[in-house]
Amino acid sequence: MANISLQNVSKQYDYKAILQDVSLHIEENERVAIVGRNGAGKSTLLKILSGELESDDGIRILEGNLELKHLIQKPDFKAGQTTKEAIIEALSEQNFAKKRYLEVGKMLENAPNDKMLLEEYAKLTSFLDHHNAWDMESKIKQVLETFELEDLQDRYVNLLSGGEQKRVALACLLLHKPDILLLDEPTNHLDVQMVEFLEEMLMRGNFTLVFISHDRYFIDKIATRVVEVEEGKIRSFKGGYSEYLRQKEALLLSLAKSHETLLKHLKAEEEWLARGVRARVKRNEGRKERIMEMRKVAKTNPSIIRKMTLELERERKAFNQEEGVNRKKMLFEMKHLHKEIDGKTLIKDFSARILQRDKIAIVGRNGSGKSTLLKMLLGSVVPSGGSIERGEVKIGYFDQHREMLDDSKDLLETFCPFGGDHIEVRGKSMHIFGYLKNFLFPKEFLDKKIRALSGGEKNRVALALLFTKAYDCLILDEPTNDLDIPTINILEEYLQSFEGAILFVSHDRYFVDKIAKCLYVFKGNGEIVESHRSFSEYLEIQSELREYAKLELESKQESMPKNSPKEAQKKTKLSYHEKRLLEILPQEIEALETELKALENLLYNGNLSTQELQEKSKEFEEKKAICEAKILQYLDLEEMESCSGTKEKQWHIQS
């Protein structure tokens, strides 16, 4: 019997059908991966399975008294709750059972033959045995150690990084020992070691598992069945991701053969129809209708076959690449990295791993050490302390000073140093003009000297040169400087499709939000904070962080003797005006961003005259410069506040 089932389930949003008459039966101890395109309905299917979302039609059946737990993609925790408190809350049912067990035990001393008490005592004993909940303090300690949360136990969970929050959520979930576990993107933000730990735990666990993941390697290792969601329907494939691809290939082959048979049969039927008289006989109306239906299928089959072929090729290629990625795994590992220049600490005790496919933006004020970190990863600058381990990695580097360009050469000499007019682009031969056209260079630029180009044009040349080679990792220092919007769009498109890791320094908030999946925030005095929020979200959350810091500071000040006005003044470096700026800058930045988005839409709607286009482009660049200046001002003030002694330990919590 199935643990959980859906029968003839349908769901639509705003007249768009997400699921149509779907039936799914999940057997005991199955590990089912749900795959499909973004927006196909994977999360909707998982939410209906969990019972959190009602379907429009159909029924959900959960067997007996099975316990089901669901881990959403972005776990939500109470504000001000520490990691240890979250673990204790997850154990509340077990704590209650332990207390009740002791109470019933005392009652039985006075009534040893009471049947109801004896039954309850037996159930409580079984429950505590099942959850190994006899020694709660030892259990809490074991959970913190198992999920590597010891150093995070006193920190607020909602202020931890994405990966740390995911570890806390998984720990809380698994403490319940559920019969059915539903996970939405469980490997997001987890490092390699934690993913491997999760894989081992899920394969060893005695529960039914249903999960959504874009990590094909993870699916291949964990899943016993793959369920594909496409155009409102589902299709099941036994085995992991490799088997899923093999069975899809067989399905495609079967469809192609069926199409050939259909065409032969249709040809014979068309010949019969062409004879005329017999075909017009009334009793043959049914046969004519079948021919019409065959024609319809014959027309749609080629596009279906073509679509399946392309998708399968793309999936096979991506899976093969991901297998390669998972074999390499780590590109860089920084351990207790330290860097000082002329007595100034730029980086202090920073440790992090950089994996293939990581997209990391390095942000912070000018002179804080961002470019220095890039150069240490490249090996051109030596750390003052700590170490950097490098995997087998081929690095492409773009520096803001364009040192890779020779001003005395023209574009043809730059791209074809050995003569001719063809260039090798990632292993393929292309005509130089055909390639440079992608970077908005007209043909007449081919014989222009580099020195004659504008700053933005030089950056376009440098980027075009960089993208001719295949790399495992791109390191980019201010890549959008001097670039116009169309060129930035080209750069974004390339970087979004890039399969390797990307580390880049940028003050362009839009660019950072679009490309980065992780931030290294240089906060000053050598402190670097890692965040898995977008740059916009990171800036917005600073006001919340300040509130926590203020509350803790106020509570401490209440219990401390009052200082003289002069002493208090010494401890606070920010003036009233600066404090006010720190509060209002996020709103000003947000307002500017809204204006910039409106201008960007206006620039791309194609309805502006040449003069209006020039005016609006100029206005966009001016507002963008103001916005970036305000972001830098905000980061400067934030660092000053950090150094002033008004911030407490929470400021060092990873967001």
pLDDT in tens, 574-597: 776 777 777 888 888 888 888 888
Q: What is the pLDDT of residue 573?
A: 60
Is residue 262 situated within a structural domain? yes
Examine the pLDDT at 325 and tell me if it is beyond 60.
Answer: no
Is there a single domain that holds both residue 471 and residue 399? yes
Encoded tokens for 175: 């403490």
Is there a single domain that holds both residue 279 and residue 335? no
Return the percentage of the chain with pLDDT > 70, whole number: 80
Is there a single domain that holds both residue 359 and residue 283? no
β 501-505/359-364 pair status: parallel
Encoded tokens for 540: 């917005």
Q: What is the pLDDT of residue 213?
A: 86
Examine the pLDDT at 59 and tell me if it is beyond 60.
Answer: yes
If we measure between CA atoms, which residue out of 185, 212, 220, 238 comes closest to residue 318?
Answer: 220
What does the alpha-carbon distance between residue 262 and residue 256 come to, in Å, rounded to a whole number?
10
Is there a single domain that holds both residue 420 and residue 509? yes
Is there a single domain that holds both residue 441 and residue 535? yes
If we measure between CA atoms, which residue out of 477, 469, 517, 523 comes closest to residue 376?
Answer: 477
Q: At what angle do helices 162-174 and 192-204 cross, to 10 degrees?
A: 20
Domain that holds residue 98: 79-174
Domain endpoint, select from 517, 542, 567: 542
Instruction: Give the CB-side neighbour count of residue 608, counting CA atoms within 13 A.
Output: 15
Domain endpoint, select from 495, 523, 542: 542
Is residue 102 situated within a structural domain? yes
Examine the pLDDT at 655 and tell me if it is beyond 50.
Answer: no
What does the alpha-carbon distance between residue 495 and residue 467 come to, in Å, rounded to a whole number?
10
3-state secondary structure 389-418: EECCCCEEEECCCCCCCCCCCEHHHHHCCC
Is there a single domain that holds both residue 254 and residue 359? no
How many structural domains does the chain have? 4
Is there a single domain that holds both residue 290 and residue 378? no
86-100, 294-308, 349-363, 435-449: the lowest-pLDDT one: 294-308
Is there a single domain that holds both residue 486 and residue 600? no
Domain endpoint, select from 317, 343, 375: 317
> Is-contact 292 319, C-beta < 8 A?
no
Examine the pLDDT at 275 and tell me if it is beyond 50.
Answer: yes
- Element spanning 530, H or E: strand 527-531
What is the rounded average pLDDT for all residues in the chain? 79
If we measure between CA atoms, which residue out of 495, 504, 485 comes closest to residue 399?
Answer: 504
The residues pairing with 233 across neighbouring beta strands, listed in sequence order, are 230
Is there a single domain that holds both residue 167 and residue 264? no
If we measure between CA atoms, which residue out of 522, 497, 548, 149 comes closest to residue 368?
Answer: 522
Of the pLDDT bands very low, low, confident and very high (cuts 50, 70, 90), residue 382 is: very high
What does the alpha-carbon distance between residue 312 and residue 242 come to, in Å, rounded to a whole number?
12
Q: Per residue in 189-244, pLDDT tens?
A: 676 667 778 888 888 888 999 999 877 788 888 999 999 998 889 989 999 888 88
Examine the pLDDT at 41 and tell me if it is beyond 80.
Answer: yes
Is residue 568 situated within a structural domain? no
Examine the pLDDT at 302 and tell me if it is beyond 90.
Answer: no
21-25, 177-181, 193-197: the lowest-pLDDT one: 193-197
> Is-contact 416 432, C-beta < 8 A?
yes
pTM, full prediction: 0.49
Q: Per residue in 68-79, pLDDT tens?
A: 988 876 777 777
Examine the pLDDT at 277 and tell me if it is beyond 60.
Answer: no
Is there a single domain that holds both residue 147 and residue 273? no
